[in-house]
Structure 1
Amino acid sequence: MKAFLLAAGLGTRLRPLTNHTPKCMVTIGEKPLLGIWLNHLALCGIREVLINTHHLADRVADFLDSWPKDILKIHPVHEPFLLGSAGTLLANRDFIHGKENFLIVYADNLCNYRLSKLLQAQQANRERGALLTMALFKASDPSSCGIAELDATGCITGFEEKPEKPVSNLANAGIYAASPEIFTFLKAGSEGHQPYDIGQHLLPRITGKMYGLPMEGYLRDIGTPESLEIARREWRELQPLLRPETL
């Protein structure tokens, strides 16, 4: 099983911390966020992961060089210019072979969600024509998130980034399970968009062909100093949930 771990963000909202530390290397409980994600992916059955880098890429590369090679096979890919989340998928489509579903994860979230559940859901949804299954959470401020509208079957019939008038509070968690057929829509939608974004340029194109799955567990974007401090405090209490027997 494979995963894209999107880790090339600049972390502008976390400056000055990210002037010298890549956003994905910010520490939570003395561990880099990237390391937490690699452990989590391995516990959920992922065996290969592609990680894109850009800002302070040497720092990320040094960390990945020290990562145990028997746990995960890691494919670091440097982007001299940011491609955007969907642009990274498109540029590295050869990472995905065959017909197996795969994960797409934003590395700037802190999460203990059981990712194997999302893959299982996508396998079932694929039989109904789904290209992608999106993990959803209930947002306290829906106007600041990507909001999904679902029908009675769980199919996402509408999706809008940061809507002025949200139709629901079910928000995109930045975690997806997808089938290789998604690349057909990535190629068709990439023209004229640089960088090319999943939320803005891909998801609105595939409404009706993706499903939502309300997630259980902890999720927090660590993108601001305030949110980072909250995450560090809360994670100390939640870490036992990441034991292998709970996944």
Structure 2
Amino acid sequence: MKAFLMAAGKGTRLKPYTDTHPKCLIPIHGTPLLRIWIDLLARHGVSEVLINTHHHADQVTAFIDAYRPHTALALRTVHEPRLLGSAGTLWHNRAFVRGETDFLIAYADNLTNQDLAKLFDMHRGFRSMGGVLTMGLIRAPEPTQCGIVTLDGQGRIIRFVEKPEAPESDLANGGIYVASNAIFDYYGASESMPSEVLDIGHHLLPRLVGRMFGWPLDGYLKDIGNPDAYHQALAEWPAACDI
């Protein structure tokens, strides 16, 4: 199993911490978030991961070079001088997963101890029902700030709205997906993508409604995208999570 780990964001909401550090290297009780992700991926069957870089890319590359001897996971980086957006990163690096039936997509600014093998297993079942992507779901305390889904009785996502004004539920996109290679068929008929930044939530997921499924994550997951969320995660992680 291969994985894309999205780590190139500027982390503007997490200032001032990201003035001097990339968000993916923000420490969780002394452990860089990226190390937590690498260890988690290795523990749940991922063999190779592609990590995109942009903001403070030299620090990310230096960390990965130093950590390679300490993990069995094959670590690959791709630098984006200009941010491509999450969906753009997938498209421009689709050769990385050529020949793979399924692969993982995750955002490195989430702190989680989720058993990813469970998500892989759920996707295999959903794939047999025509699913192209399985989305890990969380309960959102502020649904208007998230991508919100509506499910049918089989777990199929029949509606997806990014940051809705009037949310139909509090089931939100958790930023962890397992996708099949058929996902690239939903970028459109052209063999080349347009030049603008392409986002998974805004540009790709709406095209997959009816062909993607949702599964509520049963582990801890916290987006540490702003200082308040970061401090809350620091308070919760030791007590709530055994990794």
- Please classify the TM superposition score into its range, dividing by the shorter chain length: over 0.9
Distance 2:32 2:177 in 1: 22
1:42: which partner in 2? Answer: 42
The one-letter code matched in structure 2 to 1:103 is L
Structure-2 change in CA distance of 1:146 and 1:237 (3 Å)? same
Distance 2:153 2:6 in 1: 31
Distance 2:16 2:174 in 1: 26
1:53: which partner in 2? Answer: 53
The one-letter code matched in structure 1 to 2:214 is G
Bigger mean CA offset, 179-188 vs 72-81: 179-188
Per-residue CA distance 1:50-73 (angstroms, 9 max, x = gap): 000000100000000011345110
When the two chains are superposed, the root-mean-square deviation of aligned CA atoms in Å is 1.4
Per-residue CA distance 1:73-95 (angstroms, 9 max, x = gap): 01100000000000000000000
Q: TM-score under structure 1 normalisation?
A: 0.94
> 2:24 aligned with 1:20, yes or no?
no
Task: Provide structure 2 residue ranges, at least 5 long, that are not aligned to the other structure.
Answer: none
The one-letter code matched in structure 1 to 2:63 is F
Distance 2:108 2:25 in 1: 10
1:196: which partner in 2? Answer: 198
The one-letter code matched in structure 1 to 2:227 is P
> 2:118 aligned with 1:120, yes or no?
no
Per-residue CA distance 1:11-34 (angstroms, 9 max, x = gap): 001112111100101000101100
Distance 2:78 2:239 in 1: 34
Name which of 227, 237, 240 aligns with 1:238: 240
1:85: which partner in 2? Answer: 86
The one-letter code matched in structure 2 to 1:27 is P
The one-letter code matched in structure 1 to 2:76 is H
Distance 1:79 1:68 in 2: 21
The one-letter code matched in structure 1 to 2:52 is N
1:221: which partner in 2? Answer: 223
2:76: which partner in 1? Answer: 75
Equivalent runs, 1:89-238 vs 2, <5 Å = 89-188=90-189, 191-192=193-194, 194-238=196-240
> 1:192 offset after TM fit, Å?
4.6
> 1:238 offset after TM fit, Å?
3.0
Structure-2 change in CA distance of 1:188 and 1:168 (3 Å)? farther
Structure-2 change in CA distance of 1:20 and 1:188 (3 Å)? farther
Distance 1:210 1:61 in 2: 34
Bigger mean CA offset, 179-188 vs 87-96: 179-188
| C-alpha contact (below 8 Å) 1:47/1:72 kept by paired residues | yes
| C-alpha contact (below 8 Å) 2:68/2:75 kept by paired residues | no
Distance 2:17 2:144 in 1: 27
1:245: which partner in 2? Answer: none
Distance 2:143 2:201 in 1: 15
Task: Provide structure 1 residue ranges, at least 5 long, that are not aligned to the other structure.
Answer: 243-247
Distance 2:111 2:189 in 1: 32
Query: Which stretches of structure 1, 4 residues or more, deviate above 4 A after TM superposition?
Result: 187-193
| C-alpha contact (below 8 Å) 2:149/2:173 kept by paired residues | yes
> 1:149 offset after TM fit, Å?
0.7
Identity over aligned pairs, percent:
51
> 1:201 offset after TM fit, Å?
0.3
Q: What SS does the corresponding residue of 2:150 show, helix, strand or coil?
A: strand
Structure-2 change in CA distance of 1:193 and 1:172 (3 Å)? farther
1:64: which partner in 2? Answer: 64
The one-letter code matched in structure 1 to 2:142 is D
Q: TM-score under structure 2 normalisation?
A: 0.96
Distance 1:2 1:66 in 2: 21
